[in-house]
Amino acid sequence: MTNRDLLAAIFSANDDEPAIAALEGLLRGNDRGAALLIQPLPNPVYLSSGMMYAEFWPEIVSQARQDFAKEKAALEKRCANAKNITSRTLETPANVAGADTAVAARHADLTIMVRPDGAPIADERRAVFEEVLFGSGRPVLLVPPGWRPGVIGRNIVIGWNAKREAARALADAMPFVEAADQVAVVTVDAQPSPGGHGAHPGADITAHLARKGVSATLRNVDGLGREEGEALLADAVAHQADLLVIGGYGKTRMREFVFGGVTRTLSRISSLPLLLSH
């Protein structure tokens, strides 16, 4: 886990302190980190006639940039007190903020963000998170709003359903998994299937980890009627996990992202740091 290039994609130095703290805590050795402050400039507002509010538009943009300058100064001050973290900015129209952030994320090994739900400007955050998850080709680490800095990756739960996205997430999480003290593979309501879990759900992926030198516990959890994401989170919390790894399931429909059930649930409610990959 050396020479990594990590990125925290943020909207506010204060509101996104959990993401900056997570970035700071993950840096080791020759790792480098950057905090990318995103400035989604307001999109033009038009009258029904098609005319823009030209009279007010310069003032709206000017105020947004003044607020951004304050956030930039706060971030620079925060990064000055952190080792190996630089500050960067991204000024972009709000309607393409997600796509532009995804491009930045492609040039990092991992992007860290505050979980949108429960944070300020949740809708804007979620739009950017979705673009980064589905469009960057890189893993995303979500930390809960208000998360207190602590160890990430000492006790890991891998949510496993034998699908492509789960395999991709596990591959992206391997630097964490190989360095962890405890690793558990957890399935929820899993059934034997020749095209997925095989005869014994979770056994094949646990054996794969063993061949890579990782001793993982296998837990096949009864969902007890709960959503899969809720059951997975409950198990992780009960076993005092500090990182939950899942596949980022979803697809685009009419240019909008449609999350799979587990991804949708956990990206909204997870009380633990959550590593997702699509």
Rounded to whole angstroms, how far apart are CA atoms 240 and 231? Answer: 14
pLDDT > 60? residue 52:
no
Question: Does residue 159 share a domain with residue 87?
Answer: no
**How does the average pLDDT of the chain come out, rounded?**
91
Q: Would you state the structure tokens that stand for residue 9, as one six-digit string? A: 């994609």
Q: Residue 64's domain spans which residues?
A: 5-143
Q: Would you state the structure tokens that stand for residue 255, as one six-digit string? A: 């240019």
Answer with the residue of higher pLDDT: 47 or 272: 272
In a domain, 150, yes or no: no
pLDDT > 70? residue 48:
no
Rounded to whole angstroms, how far apart are CA atoms 268 and 59? Answer: 35
Q: Which residues pair with 243 in a beta bridge?
A: 156
Question: Does residue 138 share a domain with residue 9?
Answer: yes
pLDDT > 70? residue 67:
yes
pLDDT > 50? residue 261:
yes
In a domain, 79, yes or no: yes
Pairing of strands 32-41, 85-93: parallel
Q: Provide the pLDDT for residue 255.
A: 42
DSSP string, 197-212: TBSSTTHHHHHHHHHT
Q: Provide the pLDDT for residue 254.
A: 41
pLDDT tens for 191-233 read 999 888 999 999 999 999 999 999 999 999 999 999 999 999 9
Phi and psi at 38, nearest 5°, equal: -95, 130
Question: Does residue 211 share a domain with residue 166?
Answer: yes
How sure is the predictor about 252, in pLDDT bands with cuts at 50, 70 and 90?
A: low
Mean pLDDT of 158-165: 94
pLDDT > 50? residue 270:
yes
Rounded to whole angstroms, how far apart are CA atoms 216 and 56? Answer: 60
Angle among Cα 105, 108, 112 to the nearest 5 degrees reads 65
Domain end among 116, 143, 170: 143
Q: Provide the pLDDT for residue 259.
A: 53
Report CA torsion sign: 195, 200, 205, 208: negative
Lowest mean pLDDT among 15-29, 43-57, 163-177: 43-57
Domain count, the chain: 2
**CB count in 10 Å sphere of residue 181:** 10
Rounded to whole angstroms, how far apart are CA atoms 88 and 91? Answer: 10
Domain end among 143, 171, 192: 143
In a domain, 149, yes or no: no
Q: Which residues contact 128 (CB under 8 A, 6 or more apart)?
A: 9, 38, 97, 98, 101, 113
- 121, with CB counted inside 10 A (0-12, 13-18, 19+), is middle
Domain of 268, CATH number, reads 3.40.50.620
Q: Provide the pLDDT for residue 257.
A: 47
